[in-house]
Structure 1
Amino acid sequence: MCGIAGWLDWERDLTRESGTVRRMADTLALRGPDDSGVWTATRIGLGHRRLAVIDPELGRQPMTERGGDDGRELAVVSFSGEIHNYRELRTELTTRGHRFRTASDTEVLLAAHREWGPKAIERFAGMFAYALWDIAEQTLYLGRDPLGVKPLYYAEHPSGLVFGSEPKALFASGLIRPEVDAEGLVDVFTVAAKRPGDAVYRGVRQLRPGHLLTVRRGATTARRYWQLTTAPHEDDEATTVATVRSLLDRIVGEQTVADVPLGALLSGGIDSSAITAIGAAALAADDRGPLATYSVDFAGSEDDFRADALHVSRDAPYVRAVVDHVGTKHSEVLVEPASLLAESGVTLRARDYPGVGDLDVSLYLLFREVRRHLTVALSGEGADDAFGGYPWFASEAERPSGSFPWSAGVKDRNAVLSPELRGHLDLHERLDARYREALDEVPYLDGESGVDRRMREVYYLQHTRFLPFLLDRKDRMSMANGLEVRVPFCDHRLVEYVWNVPWRLKRLGGSEKGLLRAAVEDALPAEVVHRPKSGFPVGQSPEYLESVRTAVSDMIESDGPAMRLLDAGTLRAMVRDQAWVNGTFTPPPILPRALQLDDWLTAYDVRVVL
């Protein structure tokens, strides 16, 4: 994985702007610490920061394709991510007469574009974002993987557009400035309700997952090349279980390909444990084992842990069970509570906007330690979304909430907003509107009704709203450390199949993710197969909670920029709430986010436009 950036301009000569393009790319240096490159022509400049994973010696970028008798340049690409089926595509392209000078998937992408044109993207399985400039056509193609694992932002300006892996690259062009309007503030004050394509900042867009953007002089068009397609599921139970396992074996096998050290993230839950077991088997088959695994916990969690609906048990005993059963080389990363607030600014700058407090920081610190030993790590992210792992799946089947399930219990969203902001923004109204918009997109099955219809909606909301929130967090925290994290459960071939499996089969045996558990039960110890869903560890240390309390109190008294948007009385009441200060609960999520909001408005010089 890498960082890409670029500038298209139909009026300015960009051969004179290589310094600007390099500056844009260099904002992404953490994503690509191994190499950098810039390619410019009259109308376009492409920048690249490389994390070398496949063919480290010859896979440098931006990469050009040459052809014809004179060896002229035909196309150039700046590519981030991995095409996991590139070996299969390379074989097919070789039979069609293409010759390769590297072993990289980037060169396969260029050859595929030459062979199949813009439709080549439909053949890619993987996680990727790319900018390809077709020199003969004078056309720019921006492409993003089906599930949106890799980010790609862009913003139009009067004579073209700028783009990059993160918003900071766009701002470095000098053509776009950080501004946020009411719709962007909805994304700041809520979780996982962002419309596909929205990007918090005014005038900045994300290329939607499964889309290809084509930019020609005078015309910009977006084509959706992949989407969830609804059809009756005709496989019986045994076939369904076997198909899921077969897909996982194939996908994980593809994703263990790397020319650098590779390992896995392990929590002791069914998702990461399944990937660990299958990945370890794939490495062993190639005589590349044992698999290195990493888990995270908080120092003092034995005393501080308190179970709740999303965190039912500590990970450590289950991690040990998997390590002993599979035979991995394991390391535990311990997070010190004092670092949670201290590193908050680092994670803010990784995201480019406020995140989710200690959940970001602990993940960032895990990835930082993993990167000292590995370049690539496999993750179980996405299994809950495909197979139904969160508590709200079962509750929605019994009592539909009529809202985004993960936030249906929030009572007064507007209480934290300042009186002035409330005059411009009603979070309840905005979220209700977004929820209705999302339901209008759902591809229902003809004749589907009742529980099956509602669960179709919930899974759609999960894939298009909640999962992007998780993938964005994973990408930013990992790439801020130069670590590539692969997500086999987000391979579109698996997602396509499981999408049409009925709710009763996904909940096989009456348990959440029952289908997944059945598919991998032969590879794992029984206690792990039957362990209920337990979320990513959260900071429950009284010291951390007290530090948040003090920091928020200081922010209120100093009347920082965030206080123009926040209600001081509501924040003071949250700070005084001894339930969370004493460690009985984690702090209300708004408190760490409020601190980052204050930092963000200052550090990015954000202009609020209402």
Structure 2
Amino acid sequence: MPSSLMPSTISTSSRSLGYSFASIDSSIGPMYAASLRHGTTIDTKGRTRARETPGGRLVAVWPASGRLWAGRECVITLPNPQGPCQRRHAPESTRVACAPHKPRVPGYRQPLPLRKRSHSGWALVLLDSPVRMCGIVGIVHSDPARPVPPAMIRQMCEAIRHRGPDDEGVYVERAVGLGMRRLSIIDLTGGRQPIFNEDRSKLIVFNGEIYNYRELRRGLIARGHVFATQGDTEVILHLFEEYGPECVQRLRGMFAFAIWDSARQTLFLARDRFGIKPLYVTSGPWGIGFASELKALHAVGLASRELDWEALDTYFQLGYIPAPATPFREIRKLEPGHTAVWNHTSGLTTRQYWDLPRDRTPAPHHLEAQIADWLDESVQAHLVSDVPVAAFLSGGLDSSAVVAADETDLARRLAAAYGVTLTEVDIHPEVRDLLEPITYALDEPHADESAVPTWLLSQAVGASYKVALMGIGGDELFAGYRRHIGFLAGEHYARLPRPVQRGVSALANLLREPRGASLTVDRLKRFLRTGNQSAPERFLNYLTRFPNPGRHRLYAPALRHRVSGVAASGWLHHLHQHHGTPAGLSTALYLDYKTFLADDVLALSDRMSMAHSLEIRVPLVDHELVERVFPLPDRVKIGLWQNKRLLKRALQGRLPAQHLRAPKRGFVGPTAAWLRHELRDMIEDELAPARLQRLGYFDPSVVRNLLDDHFSRRHNRTGILWALLCFSVWHRGYVEAAPVAPLDDEANIPHAEAAR
């Protein structure tokens, strides 16, 4: 089985470095062995001087007296516990750094033990291409004479310290302030942001990873650009110099960045095609502010905490808030695949630069083999790293790691078959204590039950690794959800005569939901209701947690007139009409990409992992892969009763047959049982009538009926009760516990008391 699809976390010993999906479990001689590819090692005796990894990174064990190539920015660490390391001569374009103590292996918290060795020993050489995991912030005032207090930028950076605990960069020049937090992997000055162009007329702060930056850099050098660093951040800046806003079309990777052009007094913002990296924006007559997370904007009072109840109604319907909306009226998310330009004269304008392909393409010959090759290429591209990479993968098939309680046996069998280390994480006893930190990390109300296991898994992996791969995106690309089979079956059902449909629906309405947690009958009724609905309405019907009119009655009478109840439906119709995808499975997949994947799955994985300073990479959410697979005919991706048919065929021979036949499992805990047992006291307190009356948002009697239904097992109310619980905990932290910072009335510019 190729290493690119190996279902693994990385096993390491104290004398090994892993650089791919596999690690070396022994050392050669008194120094290190480094794994470039599965089964390939570097000989510390010097016979193998250097080799390029699949991602283009140079990793070598080099004699201390050896020469370095010009143009290679490297770190040399000489293992010499007896005394300080010495700086070695190198070409002018190469920076060399030596540590005066035991070297730390990139990606690990603790230094590795070294055997004593003379000063003339081997050196570990790593090309400078560190992980650029970070968070970004910024403020630009409309009035050029109104300075941005540096303390405000630092306070915003501090609010997102978890995204990059190792380094901070701040730039303030009169009315402009930009900042970033960075997780450094190799401690070079070239990694610090903000980064300027040659004449310092432009500067950038960047969050993400560009996988094709080496190729782009070579092209820019050929066009006369001069670089001061070797990293991907500066490549984006020079690319913007060369191509302007169209530079984003050339980027492969995940990103959110801001470029300030001082000559044009213009701020340029961009977000990657799928929304892997977040970017929040608030603007007004005072100027503009942006940040990787909501909490940074509120930390300095850039926006009020007035709630947007149309957006929150969408939350109670879907469990998340689709972009560009947020729970607050004055803050928006920059949509995936969009850029924005701001200046003090025209304000903020946004533009879409990418969308999923509209046209269908025929299936090529040998499609399964082609799919496997495309997967290999994408995974290899995402392995660009100077640190060991862990994986949350279930063999490359499912988008979730097989670590939930009902999947442990399968996970153990896979781990044993491929010789990898399996770490089991028990989430049962901790769930009550986790909700508050999870909701704080999520920034927005978010009711996806997988947040709990994702938090704990990120915590466990983040203790040893700084980069991990996840299988997110496989369900959207290859049609892996139950609703996708429902869409396909619904097309056949819709062709039945109307009298037959009415008769089937009447019979289904006689069915009663079994007592307990089963939702089988509810799903059947939802399917039958979709027979004559439009494609967006069918999609919404499958996803909704609490449909109308019940959801409208949930709100307090004073709030009901402010909630239309159709915000989610209107947005889905807008997306569908804008793209023009024909009705059918393609519509469901498109809407999944534009809403569920971006604002539920990717948002959750980013916040949960970043809360533990862990960078998540998603090879199945790669625009080159998606542009090849998404346009394929629906019939090749899925069978009437088989999800992911195309992917399963492509992986035959790579994964165990029993794994390919295994039913889909959700990456969630036993939420229904939690609400009845471990969390019962908590939800009773959070949704107590006195508290609900004080908030003024919900009808206490309706909420009480929902609780009684669930506790008595008359109905499974997990979806809406979990959403209410998460909202209440979130509201305590983001609204009740954090009063709005006062505004500067003189200039109508938000201004935090802490920065005065």
TM-score class, shorter-chain normalisation, is 0.7 to 0.9
Which residues of 2 match residues 94-133 of structure 1 at below 5 A?
A: 94-133=221-260
Q: Matches of 1:84 and 1:454 in 2, distance apart? A: 34
Q: Matches of 1:30 and 1:540 in 2, distance apart? A: 28
Aligned to 2:733: 603
Match of 2:369 among 235, 242, 260: 242
- 3-state secondary structure, aligned to 1:523: coil
Q: Matches of 1:409 and 1:27 in 2, distance apart? A: 32
Which residues of 2 match residues 304-383 of structure 1 at below 5 A?
A: 314-335=406-427, 337-356=428-447, 358-383=449-474
Deviations 1:530-559 (A, max 9, x none): 222211132258566323222222234462
Match of 2:543 among 380, 386, 407: 407
* 8 Å contact from structure 2 (residues 289, 297) kept in 1: yes
Return the offset for 1:154. 0.3
* 8 Å contact from structure 1 (residues 392, 405) kept in 2: no
- 3-state secondary structure, aligned to 2:165: coil
Q: Matches of 1:370 and 1:420 in 2, distance apart? A: 46
Structure-2 change in CA distance of 1:61 and 1:200 (3 Å): farther
- 3-state secondary structure, aligned to 2:648: helix
Return the offset for 1:520. 2.1
Q: Matches of 2:635 and 2:244 in 1, distance apart? A: 42
Aligned to 2:354: 226
* 8 Å contact from structure 1 (residues 295, 331) kept in 2: no
State the one-letter code of the partner of 1:323.
A
- 3-state secondary structure, aligned to 2:225: coil
Q: What runs of 5+ residues in structure 2 fail to find an aligned partner?
A: 1-132, 492-529, 741-756
Structure-2 change in CA distance of 1:581 and 1:563 (3 Å): farther
Q: Matches of 1:31 and 1:162 in 2, distance apart? A: 18
- 3-state secondary structure, aligned to 1:493: helix
The count of residues paired between Structure 1 and Structure 2 equals 556
Structure-2 change in CA distance of 1:185 and 1:235 (3 Å): closer
Q: Matches of 1:426 and 1:539 in 2, distance apart? A: 33
Return the offset for 1:503. 0.8
Is it true that 1:21 corresponds to 2:153 in the alignment? yes
Is it true that 1:296 corresponds to 2:403 in the alignment? yes
Deviations 1:103-125 (A, max 9, x none): 32112212222222222111001
Deviations 1:78-125 (A, max 9, x none): 100111111222222233333434332112212222222222111001
* 8 Å contact from structure 1 (residues 546, 581) kept in 2: no
State the one-letter code of the partner of 1:296.
V
State the one-letter code of the partner of 1:198.
A
Is it true that 1:34 corresponds to 2:172 in the alignment? no
Is it true that 1:51 corresponds to 2:189 in the alignment? no
Q: Matches of 2:340 and 2:544 in 1, distance apart? A: 34
Q: Matches of 2:145 and 2:656 in 1, distance apart? A: 62
Q: Matches of 1:417 and 1:250 in 2, distance apart? A: 50
Structure-2 change in CA distance of 1:380 and 1:527 (3 Å): same
Aligned to 1:284: none
* 8 Å contact from structure 1 (residues 340, 544) kept in 2: no
Structure-2 change in CA distance of 1:246 and 1:508 (3 Å): farther
Return the offset for 1:172. 2.1
Q: Matches of 1:599 and 1:537 in 2, distance apart? A: 19
Q: Matches of 1:106 and 1:208 in 2, distance apart? A: 21
Is it true that 1:62 corresponds to 2:189 in the alignment? no
Identity among equivalent positions (%) equals 32
State the one-letter code of the partner of 1:371.
G
Aligned to 1:439: 576
Aligned to 1:420: 558
Q: Matches of 1:556 and 1:503 in 2, distance apart? A: 44
Structure-2 change in CA distance of 1:156 and 1:409 (3 Å): closer
Return the offset for 1:510. 5.8
Q: Matches of 1:409 and 1:189 in 2, distance apart? A: 7
Aligned to 1:288: none
* 8 Å contact from structure 1 (residues 130, 142) kept in 2: yes
Aligned to 1:3: 135
Q: What runs of 5+ residues in structure 1 fail to find an aligned partner?
A: 274-293, 302-313
Q: Matches of 2:252 and 2:230 in 1, distance apart? A: 17
Aligned to 1:463: 593
Aligned to 1:290: none
Q: Matches of 1:587 and 1:56 in 2, distance apart? A: 51
Aligned to 2:306: 179
Return the offset for 1:352. 1.9
Structure-2 change in CA distance of 1:56 and 1:498 (3 Å): farther
Is it true that 1:158 corresponds to 2:285 in the alignment? yes
Q: Matches of 2:258 and 2:431 in 1, distance apart? A: 36
Return the offset for 1:364. 0.9
* 8 Å contact from structure 1 (residues 548, 591) kept in 2: no
* 8 Å contact from structure 2 (residues 358, 580) kept in 1: yes
Aligned to 1:145: 272
Q: Matches of 2:670 and 2:190 in 1, distance apart? A: 41
Is it true that 1:386 corresponds to 2:477 in the alignment? yes
- 3-state secondary structure, aligned to 2:385: coil
Return the offset for 1:477. 1.0
Decide which structure has greater helix share: 1
Higher Rg: 2
State the one-letter code of the partner of 1:419.
P
* 8 Å contact from structure 2 (residues 172, 178) kept in 1: yes
Q: Matches of 1:345 and 1:165 in 2, distance apart? A: 20
* 8 Å contact from structure 1 (residues 269, 534) kept in 2: no
- 3-state secondary structure, aligned to 2:378: helix
Structure-2 change in CA distance of 1:590 and 1:66 (3 Å): same
Structure-2 change in CA distance of 1:324 and 1:581 (3 Å): farther
* 8 Å contact from structure 1 (residues 13, 43) kept in 2: yes
* 8 Å contact from structure 1 (residues 266, 319) kept in 2: no
Q: Matches of 2:628 and 2:216 in 1, distance apart? A: 22
Is it true that 1:210 corresponds to 2:340 in the alignment? no
* 8 Å contact from structure 1 (residues 556, 563) kept in 2: no
Q: How big is the alpha-carbon RMSD for the aligned residues of Structure 1 and Structure 2?
A: 2.6
State the one-letter code of the partner of 1:390.
Y
Q: Matches of 2:333 and 2:189 in 1, distance apart? A: 30
Structure-2 change in CA distance of 1:192 and 1:126 (3 Å): farther
* 8 Å contact from structure 2 (residues 319, 446) kept in 1: no
Is it true that 1:398 corresponds to 2:398 in the alignment? no
Aligned to 1:575: 707
State the one-letter code of the partner of 2:734.
Y
State the one-letter code of the partner of 1:62.
Q
* 8 Å contact from structure 2 (residues 137, 291) kept in 1: yes
Match of 1:261 among 381, 384, 388: 388
